[in-house]
Amino acid sequence: MNRSIPDATLPQGEWMSAYAATGLAVGRPLVIQNKSRTEILVYESTEKPGATQRDGESLAPGERARVAQGSVGVWLICRTGEGRAFIQEAAS
């Protein structure tokens, strides 16, 4: 089992880098779980998405997403209130 990382807090309407929030190196495989009461959007990109970006994978409360090794960057946003996400390095 990988070391536990505290949940990331997502300020409403602000994109946050999953890698920066956890201290994990960009490109490591991730598991992301939405621990919010509202949807979180997950977007893979080298650069921070624009404020109006609507593309990406939508995670309902409680859902998980896997990010494959080699990702160029992962960004999260919660548009309707403050969000919480559990982010951990996925087992190889």
Give pLDDT tens digits along the chain (92 positions).
466 789 999 999 999 999 999 999 999 999 999 999 999 999 999 999 998 888 899 999 999 999 999 999 999 999 889 999 999 999 86
> For residues 79-91, b (16+ Cβ closer than 10 Å) or e, as one string?
eeeebbbebbbee
**The two structure tokens encoding residue 65:** 């997403």
81 falls within a domain: yes
Question: How many domains does the chain contain in total?
Answer: 1
Ramachandran class of 25: left when φ > 0, alpha when ψ lies in -120 to 50, beta otherwise:
beta
Range of the domain at 44: 8-89
Would 25 be classed as within a structural domain? yes
Residue type, 19: Y
User: Would 52 be classed as within a structural domain?
Assistant: yes
Q: How many C-beta neighbours within 10 Å does residue 15 have?
A: 18
pTM: 0.92
